[in-house]
Structure 1
Amino acid sequence: MHVGILTNFATPTGGAEKVAIESARGLAERGVAVTLIHGVDGPADPMLDHPGIRRVGLGLTDVWERPAWRGAIEGIWNREAARRLGRALAALPDRPDVLHLHQWTRSLSPAILPVLARSGLPLAITLHDYFLVCPNGVYYRFDRAEPCTLRPFSARCLAASCDPQSRIHKAVRVARYFAQWAAITRDFDPRSTNRARVSKRGFAPRPIDLVHVSDGSRAQVERFVKGIPFLHHHCIDNPVRLARAAPADPAAGDAVAFVGRFTREKGADLVAQAAHRAGLPSLFIGDGPLADELRAVPGAEVVGWRAPAEVEALLRRRARAVAAPARWLETGPLTIYEALAAGIPAIASDRAGAGEKIRDGETGFVTAPEVGALAEAFGRLRDDALVRRLGAAAHVRYWSAPMTLAAHASALCDLYAGMTGAAEAPSFQRSAVM
């Protein structure tokens, strides 16, 4: 089998690229030929150094690095991206059996969707966020600091000042949404295509296989695309790149840890405030706009970004628990899964996909993203015996059905087999026992 993976970058600038790169490696190690097509050129992640992986850069520019007016236009519809992708696919020495799109908002834009449709190849799209159905991508009211309750692109949605940056940014994202759905319905919906048009355009519409990374995010998206027959839904866990090792001893740690970007929607401020209220130090690995605010909270320590191996070592040494109390409906934060794999208790928001992997009171806690509720959970971490028991149970449960790169690649191969007709549509074996 030959799989074409498409994403914005060949380095992990975010979760989407990280998963795209790791899935490319996992598939290659399974013997699948992989062509990774990335919009922006530059250094590639060492994970892509494998004889089974071919890299093709399109030489595009990140829209965030463009002047605002040009970035807006290219973000909505980048004609050059479409042209270059079409040429790249045509130039491949062997035709892929399936295409898998991971992210398109930073360089590729919705303009690539007609190109993918005209290829005639089965297409999968992993939804790492909610941009398919929501203008700001996270289904969250930044103006109110709470999850959105409006129907996407209703009149009230369009009028809401919900974008994290400005109304102008929201207007651009709304325009991108309409461009995206115009392309999807025109080129993938068989109901909008007659025989003459199929013959003229030279391809027949195919369904799109949407890959969700948690049951919660799948349910959220399905609410808004219910009844669209050419969208097929699947759930495949993101991979966790941790080798099995002896469980950590979280009772020897001193702090509640937060790993990632320090933003209000991710709940970084909640961790600092709740840990202080519970009488525990807090440790922040990463960076973001709340960094100075976090440093001002007594007991909070900010250490900046670290390499993955350093993060693991630091958590094993310092963390009594890892917390991800997202205010938004986070799809599936990897930090929680990595904590469980290391044998460290995890505390997640009841709004996040990560909560599905925690057995409340057994491997960690699932709680509302509020200071009071978190402080109560953090307070329980002062009990060494409980922390040690939670960590041991987390390690055992995680490794009974691990979300390894090999398991991820196996699920993808099952998906591709169903898409290409090489097998019956699979029933995925997910790590639901956590």
Structure 2
Amino acid sequence: MQIVVLAEFAVASGGAEKVAVESARGLAEAGLDVTYIQAIDGPVDDLLDHPRIRRIGLGNKDIWQRPAHRAALNGLWDAEAAARLGAALDALPVRPDLIHLHQWTRSLSPSVFPALFARGLPVVTTLHDYFLACPNGVYYRFDRAEPCALKPLSAACLAAPCDGRSRLHKLVRVGRSVSLRAALKRQRLDVIHVCDASVARMGTLLEGLAVTHHRVDNPVRVTKQVPADPARGDALAYVGRLTREKGVDLVADAARAAGLPALFVGTGPLENELRARPGVELVGWQAPDAVWSLLRRRARAIAAPSRWYETGPLTVYEALANGIPVMASNRSGASEKILDGVNGYSVSPELEAWARAAATLHDDARTASLGAAAHARYWASPMTLGVHTDALIAVYERILATRAVERLPADAAASAA
């Protein structure tokens, strides 16, 4: 099988890039031939160094590095990027069987979709966010600090000042969503969801489009080892970007109310606000090995307090694999892996509920029990790269089999069914 993996970066930094890179590696290790197309110039992860992986760079620039007027226009429709992508696909020595898209908003724009559909190949995209339906990409009201309940591109949606940056950004993103809807109209798209909640939510938000939904967990590249001992830790810990929609202020407030230090790994807009609070420790970004070395020593639990409908934060799964309990927002897709009170807590992202759950972590025996259950339950059904790859290949095979049957004459199709 010949697969094209299309992403805007080729380094496992954020969640989407991490999944794209690791999926490409997993497919290659499973014996598939992979062409990894990197839209934006930049570093390349060592995971893409494999004899079955061919890498192609399109040479695009990140939209945030372009002049403002160019960024706005290119965000709506970037014909040059689409042409470069089309030329790269047409130059491949072997026609691919399927194209798997992971990102498109940072350089490719909605113009990427006609370029893909024009090649007559099945197109699959993984939903790491909600840009396929929602103009601001997270289905969240930044003006109200709450999840959105509006129909995308409805009159109420157009009027809402919901963007995290400005009304001008909202206007541009609405234009992009309109262009996207036009590009997807009467086209077939296979969508991979990384959590059950995304399937239910996007099934409604994408009504009117020819979308087939699939469900595949993200890969978690964690080596099984002796579980951590969270009862020896001292802090409620958070890993990720420090923003309000991710609930980092809630972590600080809940930890203080429960009498625990709050440990933050990452940077972001709320860094200075957090630094000024008592009982807060910030260590900035760290290499992955350093992060888990620190958390295995310090964390009584990992916090994932998203106020938005986050799809599948990898940190939650990595914590469970290490035997560290997780306190997760019940709005996060990752909470599906939490059995409340057994391997952590699934909690509404509100201070009283979070403080109450955090207070239970003072009990060493309870914390140790949560950690042991986290490790045991995760490794009973691990989200390894191999498991992810097998599920991904099964999706590809279903898609290709469906297309093959559709190409048969009517009588042959009936007998095949």
Q: TM-score range, shorter-chain basis?
A: over 0.9
User: 2:320 corresponds to which letter in structure 1?
Assistant: L
Q: 1:372 aligns with which of 344, 352, 358?
A: 352
- Counterparts of 1:5-404 in structure 2, within 5 Å, are 5-186=5-186, 188=187, 207-226=188-207, 228=209, 230-404=210-384
Deviations 1:148-201 (A, max 9, x none): 111111101100000000010011101110111111115x1xxxxxxxxxxxxx
Q: Tell me how far 1:340 sits from its aligned partner.
A: 0.4
The residue number in structure 2 matching 1:195 is: none
Distance in 1 (CA, whole Å) between partners of 2:177 and 2:403 is 34
> Is the contact made by 1:77 and 1:109 (CA closer than 8 Å) also made in structure 2?
yes
Distance 1:255 1:423, change over 3 A: farther
1:420 pairs with one of 400, 403, 415: 400
Q: Normalization by structure 2: what TM-score? A: 0.95
1:191 corresponds in structure 2 to none
Letter in 2 for 1:221: M
CA distance in 2, matches of 1:393, 1:167: 46
Cα distance in 2 between the residues matched to 1:255 and 1:345: 12
Runs (4 or more) in structure 1 with deviation over 4 Å come to 422-425
SS in 1 for 2:162: coil
Q: CA deviation at 1:295?
A: 1.3
Gaps of 5+ in 1: 189-206, 426-434
Q: How many residues matched? A: 405
> Taking structure 1 as reference, are residues 390 and 24 closer, same or farther at Cα in structure 2, changes over 3 Å only?
same
* SS of structure 2 residue aligned to 1:261: coil
Question: SS of the residue aligned with 1:402?
Answer: coil
Aligned residue for 1:83, secondary structure, equals: helix
- Provide closer, same or farther for how the CA distance between residues 226 and 422 of structure 1 changes in structure 2, counting only shifts above 3 A: closer
Aligned alpha-carbon RMSD (Å): 1.3
Query: Is 1:418–1:424's contact at 8 Å kept on the other side of the alignment?
Result: no
Structure-2 change in CA distance of 1:176 and 1:13 (3 Å): farther
Measured at CA, do residues 246 and 423 of structure 1 come closer, stay the same or move farther in structure 2, by a change above 3 Å?
A: farther
Q: Secondary structure at the match of 1:37?
A: strand
Helix, strand or coil at the partner of 2:185: helix
Greater alpha carbon shift after TM alignment, 170-179 vs 416-425: 416-425
The answer to whether the Cα contact below 8 Å between 1:276 and 1:297 also exists between their aligned partners in 2 is no
Moved more, 398-407 or 13-22: 13-22
Between the aligned partners of 2:292 and 2:47, the Cα distance in structure 1 is: 18
2: distance between equivalents of 1:397 and 1:359? 10
Give the unaligned 5+ runs of structure 2: 406-417
d(CA) in 2 for partners of 1:424, 1:330: 35
Map Cα deviations across residues 240-282 of structure 1 (whole Å, 9 max, x no partner).
Answer: 1101111110111100000000000000010011101100001
1:348-405 CA distance string (max 9 Å, x none): 0011101100010000001111111111000000000001000001101001111111
Q: CA deviation at 1:225?
A: 2.1
Match of 2:411 in 1: none
For residues 96-117 of structure 1, give each alpha carbon's deviation from its aligned partner in whole angstroms, at most 9, with x where no partner exists.
Answer: 1110000100011111111111
**Percent of aligned positions with the same letter in both sequences?**
60
Contact 1:266–1:327 (CA<8 Å) still a contact in 2? yes
The whole-number CA distance in structure 1 between the counterparts of 2:165 and 2:347 is 29
TM-superposed CA distance for 1:12, in Å, is: 2.9
CA distance in 2, matches of 1:153, 1:329: 19
CA displacement 1:125-158 (0-9 Å, x = unmatched):
1010001111100010000111111111110110
For residues 16 and 110 of structure 2, the distance between their equivalents in structure 1, rounded to whole angstroms, comes to: 17
Distance in 1, matches of 2:234 and 2:253, equals 16
User: What is the SS of the residue equivalent to 1:320?
Assistant: strand
Alpha-carbon distance, 1:424 to partner: 11
Q: 1:417, 1:423 within 8 Å by CA — same for their partners in 2?
A: no
Deviates more, 1:79-88 or 1:416-425: 416-425
